[in-house]
Amino acid sequence: MEHVRISVPQSGIWFNEQLSDLGAVHHMPFAVRFAGPVDIPALGRACARVVERHPLLRAAIRQTDGVPYLVEGLPVRVELGSDPEEEILRPFDLEKGPLARMSLLDDGRLLVVVHHLAFDGQSTDVFVADLAACYRAEVEGFAPELPGLGPGEGPDQEAARIAAGAPAARAYWSGRWAEPDEVVLPGFDRSDQEVQAGDAVEFRLPESVLANAAERLGVTRFELVVASVHALLRRYGNERPVTALDLGLRPAEALGRIGVYVNELPFASEPSPDVSFAEFARSVRAGLRELYRVREVPLGRAVSGLRPGVSLAPVSLTYRRRIAPPSGTSVDWVVFNRTARNALRIHLVDGPDGLGVMFQFAPRSIARADVERIAAHWQAILAQVTKNPDIALRGLEVADGPVVAGADTAYPQVSVLDLVQEQVASTPDAVAVISGETRLTYAELDRLAERLSEQLRLAGVKTGDLVALSAGRSERSVTGVLACWKAGTAYLPLDPAYPAERLNYILTDSGAKVLLADPGTHLPGVTVVPFADPHTDHAPTTAASFADRAAAVSVAVPGVDHVGSSADLAAAVSFADAGVDRLDSGADHAVAASFANQGANHSAADAASFAAPGTDHAAAVSFPGPGTNQVASVSDSGADLADGVSFAGPGSDSGTGDVGAFAGSSSYPVAASVVSRSQSDSVGGELAYVIYTSGSTGRPKGVEIEHRALANLLLAMRDELRAEAGNVWLAVTSLSFDISVLELWLPLITGGSVVVAAEPETADGAALTKLAERHRISHLQATPSTWRLLLDAGFAFEGTALTGGEALPLPLAGQLRARVGRLLNMYGPTETTIWSTLADIPLNPDRVRIGRPLANTQLLILDDNLDPVPRGVPGELYIAGAGLARGYLNRPELTAERFLTQPVRMYRTGDRVRLRGDELEFLGRTDNQIKLRGHRIELGEIEACLLAHAKEAAVAVQDEQLIAYTVGGAPDLRRHLARQLPAYMVPAAFVELDTLPLTPNGKLDRAALPRYDEPVADVQAGGSPLEAVAEIWADVFGLAGIDPEESLFDLGGHSLTIAQIAARIRDRFNVDVPFYAFFDTPTIAGIAAMVSERGGIP
């Protein structure tokens, strides 16, 4: 065999082999079966004839000055009894050859494995036809009759042909070529391994499936295949589907030759969802015919700056018409080649016996079930377009269950206040709140909240108002919220750490007029109600002493007013001229009022007994004149009653502060207005709280959460966690962050305790760890940022850890799960009441999901047109169900925009998710998706890749380039990402920080990321390696004065250019520069620096 340069198609295959270990990706196995017993000697001679006729099969490839040439290799022999899988996967030694091997299997089939450097799809038909003719001749003893072979195309002829077609190809690709976006497929994950163990889904379709549809549409079968695959990709959400197509280059004179006569080129379409399939198929036909005209020119020769080895498309498609094998033979396509390079490679062989289809894939990137689903979707599309060619692409049915619903649970219609009051009655002496050295029982908590609620009422607060709450990290954050609820109001948390401008804006925007705050707090425009000192608050001994801090009023002349020891919480009102008015023990929840002109008036009975079963609040409605006192009405079970009353005299209505003016009157009717509430008036649409979150306009927006939504969340989490008395929660979250609601109130409705961490402790992992150990906590909820602090401090416990508020990186999930008894990853926007889903994270997780919906929650994954996406396909998450907020405070337009009413009332989260099995996987924000230089980029995907090699990571866009910020990043991050992401997604710069900036809620503060200032490269550092590499560069390109920072690809470099430069560097410096290095740093300066690092001396 003569020493000849390899062809352009072969050079692309060879370069990819040099770039990385591709395993068996380029191995092409098939098996030939013969009728009857096999004559082994005759078969051996026949194989030798075929190899002699086609010398490429026995060739080897060796380099001269970096240029690969075909040379004579080792002979091809037929082995006996080999293991087929081993034969298929065994690497070829390209420098020694040969490029084919054959084995006679135990079942009589001849296994042929050929490297793609010597073979294309049509070569199989040529090989089988020649082998059948030669075998028959050897068996029957005559010389085979084979058609003559022409001289073939030499390197010079090939170069002339490509040069002639280059102008038209450059014109065609100008403005057309763009590196394809990341493909969207059900369940597909980009892997950091370019080549992976592969698998395949195979099936056959009747010949009529393509024939009938193609005939109706007026297109060829190949054009129909391409159009149907692109239509499917569009339904998966790919706005610009791209497939890599193997286009034949085989001229008529080469029909009988074995060789590589293909050029893989990308084909892109931009289908509108509203166009009919028939119209789309015709546009595909026109596009393919344009592409076919430039098929002679490799893309790298037509597109300036194209990096060799770049994936032309994540989905590739090969289609060929197969001729029937010669009589007495058949061909089996062996699928032992379990390797894959593309996300999905679709092989179609259209023959007389039907359409053979193989979907080849990498299980590490996509599961077999997902590929089977893709195959089923494709067949469904073929069936639909055959039946109705004019169907719109939008109407192609491929969806299969993208709605996930949580358990439909009938929780009681109660408020959180009701649930807390039940717990107060059940376990009054149990510890409810711990803050520093302060410990409050349930009874003490309730008493303090009662006092605060009265202070709010005296400040003018009315039912339905919004009370601002600014409490430091102490028991006040609990008593303050409870007091607001008792007063019939919603609370509006204000973080004292917020800037004054933000606080003033929230107060102004919300309209809140009263602020419950730590003593000494002053904010303009609001009435400040200060918290009292809990250490001076003890049970009173008389109603008079009780009156200054509860809904109790005593107006009496000398005498003794007695309140029983358990009557601390009574709304006791007594009026006497003389004598004793008394409430005995047990009347603690009674609304008792007695009026007398003289004599003793006394209720020794338990006032609760006046109430119907289930109610411990007796309401005294009217009080007749002197000498008598009675309870005129009794509440029904479950009624919502006030602990205090206001009294109206003739012609006026007054609160308890004016009640003395009516002493001596003959009648004191009870007015309808509420003074203080131990239970809620309404458990439906009453607001529980309003929390302000960041707004896209730069101004925060208030989210209104109703009692029914909050109660549903807490009861659902109670069931999920099996929360019970004795649980101890550690609360570490700011009151202005909605997840604080769970950690404060779930323990308090289930008989547990909550330990409120002090402000300094929340930022100190060691302090939090000590606090957790001291109180033997059972549950802790925190953001991933706080969990990092804790793990760094050695935190570990056997309890339940909850994490949420931001994405949980996989490495952190694994570390955290190993230190805790149970780990729950929580997800939910503020607008759907704290959490909507949860996922149990296993030990050694391989991925992190956000899980399944909570009770009475429905999840919908929809596309841009609000149509359901197919299972496993990314879409935007919409949430419906019991947790929905009322809306945004004073923002009806924004409420209408984010809370849709069709097909059901649902909240548009702006989060991209997909359904994996029965659980959701979070993919990032839709508003974190950018377009950069024409590419759709999900910043979250880049961050996820970074987090595999860094402790923390964030990506931002600056001056039209991506900047990566990392904490604890591994060296060579650029190389790691280049192996996982397309070039346009690899950041231009990497900035190492000590910590990432966080918001007060512990989330990443992207706006606070420092600006990256690009350093000026010192290209004057010169040195021998720089000068020598520059000389090599200039010689290979035939150019002088190349800028040391100019990209090799911008100069027109391609695979052979890289091979030549690498070979000359090796000869001159005795240093091997791997091919991938030219992708990481494709400049003279970059390569020279690598040579210097490796000790290269010219």
| Conformation bin of residue 214: beta by default, left when phi > 0, alpha when psi is -120 to 50 | alpha
Mean pLDDT of 479-507: 91
Q: Looking at the predicted structure, is the pLDDT value of residue 825 above 50?
A: yes
CA 240, CA 570: separation in Å to the nearest integer? 71
CA 348, CA 327: separation in Å to the nearest integer? 23
Mean pLDDT of the chain: 81
Question: What's the CATH code, domain 1019-1093?
Answer: 1.10.1200.10
Q: What is the DSSP string of 881-910?
A: ETT---EETT-HHHHHHHEE-SSSSEEEEE
- The set of long-range contacts for 376-382, using a CB threshold of 8 Å and a minimum separation of 24, is 377/232, 377/235, 377/870, 378/228, 378/229, 378/232, 379/205, 379/209, 381/228, 381/231, 381/232, 381/235, 382/209, 382/210, 382/213, 382/228
**What pLDDT score was predicted for residue 794?**
94
Fold of the CATH domain 438-550+677-681: Rossmann fold (3.40.50)
**What pLDDT score was predicted for residue 452?**
96
* Dihedral sign of CA atoms 307, 313, 316, 318 in order: negative
Cβ-contact 506, 490 below 8 angstroms: no
Mean pLDDT of 850-870: 92
Cβ-contact 863, 857 below 8 angstroms: no
Categorize the per-residue pLDDT at 771 as very low, low, confident or very high, splitting at 50, 70 and 90. very high
**What pLDDT score was predicted for residue 746?**
98
Q: pTM, whole model, 2 decimals?
A: 0.70
pLDDT for 151-164, tens place per residue? 788 888 888 999 99
Give percent of the chain with pLDDT exceeding 70. Answer: 80
pLDDT for 867-915, tens place per residue? 888 888 999 999 999 999 999 999 999 999 999 998 899 999 999 999 9
Q: Which residue has the higher pLDDT, 491 or 538?
A: 491
Mean pLDDT of 982-993: 80
Q: Looking at the predicted structure, is the pLDDT value of residue 975 above 70?
A: yes
Categorize the per-residue pLDDT at 1070 as very low, low, confident or very high, splitting at 50, 70 and 90. confident
**What pLDDT score was predicted for residue 191?**
64
Q: Looking at the predicted structure, is the pLDDT value of residue 178 above 60?
A: yes
Mean pLDDT of 71-93: 89
Cβ-contact 759, 765 below 8 angstroms: no
Q: What are phi and psi of 644, to 5 degrees?
A: -135, 160
**What pLDDT score was predicted for residue 899?**
97
Fold of the CATH domain 182-251+259-324+336-398: Chloramphenicol Acetyltransferase (3.30.559)
Token representation of residue 225: 């295949």
**What pLDDT score was predicted for residue 632?**
32
Q: Looking at the predicted structure, is the pLDDT value of residue 563 above 60?
A: no
Q: Looking at the predicted structure, is the pLDDT value of residue 423 above 80?
A: yes
**What pLDDT score was predicted for residue 20?**
65
| Mean pLDDT lowest among 34-48, 468-482, 583-597, 801-815 | 583-597
| Mean pLDDT lowest among 6-20, 93-107, 414-428 | 6-20
**What pLDDT score was predicted for residue 730?**
98
Q: Looking at the predicted structure, is the pLDDT value of residue 949 above 60?
A: yes
CA 438, CA 854: separation in Å to the nearest integer? 35
pLDDT for 193-242, tens place per residue? 555 567 889 999 988 888 888 998 999 999 999 999 999 999 998 989 99
**What pLDDT score was predicted for residue 678?**
45
**What pLDDT score was predicted for residue 436?**
94
- DSSP state letter for 553: E
Q: 487 to each of 451, 452, 674, how far by Cα in Å?
A: 10, 9, 8
Which class in CATH covers the domain with range 933-1012?
alpha beta
Q: 52 to each of 5, 131, 226, how far by Cα in Å?
A: 20, 12, 38
Categorize the per-residue pLDDT at 616 as very low, low, confident or very high, splitting at 50, 70 and 90. very low
The CA angle 845-846-847, to the nearest 5 degrees, is 95
Cβ of 635: how many Cβ atoms within 10 Å? 19
Mean pLDDT of 331-343: 62
pLDDT for 245-298, tens place per residue? 988 888 888 889 999 998 889 999 999 999 999 999 999 999 999 999 999 998
CA 884, CA 989: separation in Å to the nearest integer? 41
Categorize the per-residue pLDDT at 21 as very low, low, confident or very high, splitting at 50, 70 and 90. low
Categorize the per-residue pLDDT at 485 as very low, low, confident or very high, splitting at 50, 70 and 90. very high
Mean pLDDT of 632-661: 34
CA 1048, CA 1068: separation in Å to the nearest integer? 20
**What pLDDT score was predicted for residue 335?**
53
**What pLDDT score was predicted for residue 192?**
53
What single-letter amino acid sits at 724?
Answer: E
Helix (H, G, I), strand (E, B) or coil at 866: coil
pLDDT for 787-796, tens place per residue? 999 999 999 9
Token representation of residue 1032: 């090599």
pLDDT for 370-415, tens place per residue? 999 999 999 999 999 999 999 999 899 886 766 788 889 999 999 9
- List every span in the chain annotated with CATH 1.10.1200.10: 1019-1093
Cβ-contact 962, 955 below 8 angstroms: yes
**What pLDDT score was predicted for residue 310?**
63
Characterize the bridge pairing of strands 906-916 and 919-925: antiparallel
Mean pLDDT of 80-89: 86
Token representation of residue 264: 């893989």
| Mean pLDDT lowest among 122-136, 351-365, 625-639, 999-1013 | 625-639
Mean pLDDT of 829-845: 96
CA 490, CA 467: separation in Å to the nearest integer? 6
What single-letter amino acid sits at 850?
Answer: I
For 112-138, give the secondary structure using H, E and C.
EEEECCCCCHHHHHHHHHHHHHHHHHH
Q: 575 to each of 556, 600, 649, 887, how far by Cα in Å?
A: 6, 11, 14, 47
**What pLDDT score was predicted for residue 692?**
92
Start-to-end C-alpha separation, the chain: 37
Q: What is the CA radius of gyration of the chain?
A: 39
Of 101-110, 323-332, 518-527, 1071-1080, which one has max mean pLDDT?
A: 101-110
**What pLDDT score was predicted for residue 547?**
32
Q: 948 to each of 842, 846, 952, how far by Cα in Å?
A: 18, 12, 9
Categorize the per-residue pLDDT at 581 as very low, low, confident or very high, splitting at 50, 70 and 90. very low
**What pLDDT score was predicted for residue 197?**
65
Q: Looking at the predicted structure, is the pLDDT value of residue 656 above 60?
A: no
Question: What's the CATH code, domain 4-149?
Answer: 3.30.559.10
**What pLDDT score was predicted for residue 936?**
61
